[in-house]
Amino acid sequence: MKFSSTGIGIVEQTRDMARVDSTQWSTAKITNSCNNWLDRIFTYGKRKDSAFQIDDSNHTKLPIGTTDLVANQSDYSFLTDQEGNRITNITRIDLLDASGNYHQLKKIDQNEINGALSEYKKTAGIPEEYDLIADNIVRLYPKPADNVTAGLIYYFQRTPSYFIATDTTKEPGVSNDLHRGFVIASAYDCALTLGLPNLEALSLELQKEEQKLVEYFSSRNTDSKKRLTPNVEDCR
């Protein structure tokens, strides 16, 4: 569904659904509502869909980056991707070894470390583990002993590709099954803000879209094989 297209875009359908005109509910306000709904989809997707890494199809670069290893530097920040999108979570880190191959670093948590953190693998060497100390900041153990160009490959999740008020043909970078939700969410925001009499009806429609969101992420990994683990009882 295009953001704005004569009679059929999100903008136009929103005003039809709310029964308002462009003076009552501007394109800028529709844009804000759509971006809020996009955030909601991504927040829910990251929380519920562990088998897939949710991303916006409007992004032109994959959610993968490289950075240099710096001798004796243990902490590395990954704030934005190549397109300037904010990185919200690091999902994996691979290290370049002496043979020119990458291998995966083990993710740990500081709660697993007994004793003082400052003493844990404090001698510089080849990093083996990383601790995610913030959503987009990691600490390597041990810290690297040498400078290595593109020594780390990191995989991440990021913010979606947001709408701007001048968009026309751009579509939400999520499944078509979820596109109607942008119309309903914006129309609901309009009715709530302006105190319109159709607020209750739109609230019911919004609940349907929220349920659709739940069902969508619950059924995404249908191509994954489900494993049954037998319950073996000890009869001794």
Q: How far apart are CA 141 and CA 212, in angstroms?
A: 43
Cα–Cα–Cα angle for 140, 141, 143, rounded to 5 degrees: 70
In the predicted structure, residue 233 carries a pLDDT above the cut 50: no
CA atoms within 13 Å, Cβ hemisphere of 105: 30
Is the model more confident about 207 or about 49?
207
Cα dist from 185 to 27, 182, 201, whole Å: 14, 5, 12
CA distance 25 to 11: 10
- What is the identity of the amino acid at 228? L
| Mean per-residue pLDDT of the chain | 90
pLDDT > 90: percent of the chain: 76
Take residue 56 and report the two structure tokens written for it. 């916006």
**pLDDT tens string 26-60:** 999 999 999 999 999 999 888 875 556 789 999 99
Is the pLDDT at 221 greater than 70? The verdict is no
Say what the pLDDT of residue 47 is: 81
Query: Do 141 and 128 meet the contact criterion of CB atoms below 8 Å apart?
Result: yes
All structural domains of the chain with their residue ranges: 10-52+163-214, 64-158
Q: Which residue stretches of the chain are H helix?
A: 10-18, 27-48, 180-194, 199-219
**What is the tens place of the pLDDT at every residue in 192-206?**
999 999 999 999 999
Q: Is residue 234's pLDDT more than 70? A: no
d(CA 91, CA 183): 32
Q: Cα–Cα distance between 132 and 1 in angstroms, integer?
A: 37
Average pLDDT over residues 93-117: 91
Do the strands 137-141 and 129-134 form a parallel or antiparallel pair, or are they unpaired?
Answer: antiparallel
pLDDT in tens, 75-93: 999 999 999 999 999 999 9
Mean pLDDT of 64-70: 96
- What angle is formed at CA 182 by the lines to CA 180 and CA 186, rounded to 5 degrees? 125
pLDDT of residue 229: 39
Bigger pLDDT: 187 or 236?
A: 187
Give how far Cα 58 sits from Cα of 162, 180, 233, Å.
9, 18, 51
CB atoms near residue 139 (< 10 Å): 19
Rounded CA separation 123/121 (Å)? 6
Q: Which residues have CB under 8 Å from 25's CB, separation 6+?
A: 14, 15, 18, 186, 190, 194
- Token pair recorded at residue 206: 């919004």
Q: H-helix or E-strand containing 66?
A: strand 64-69
Any residues with CB less than 8 A from the CB of 220 and at least 6 apart, and which? Answer: 49, 51, 52
In sign, the C-alpha dihedral spanning 115, 116, 119, 120 is positive
**Range of weakest confidence among 132-136, 187-191, 225-229:** 225-229
Give 156-186 pLDDT, tens digit per residue.
Answer: 999 999 999 999 999 999 999 999 999 999 9
Can you tell me the distance from the alpha carbon of 122 to that of 214, in angstroms, rounded to the nearest whole number?
45
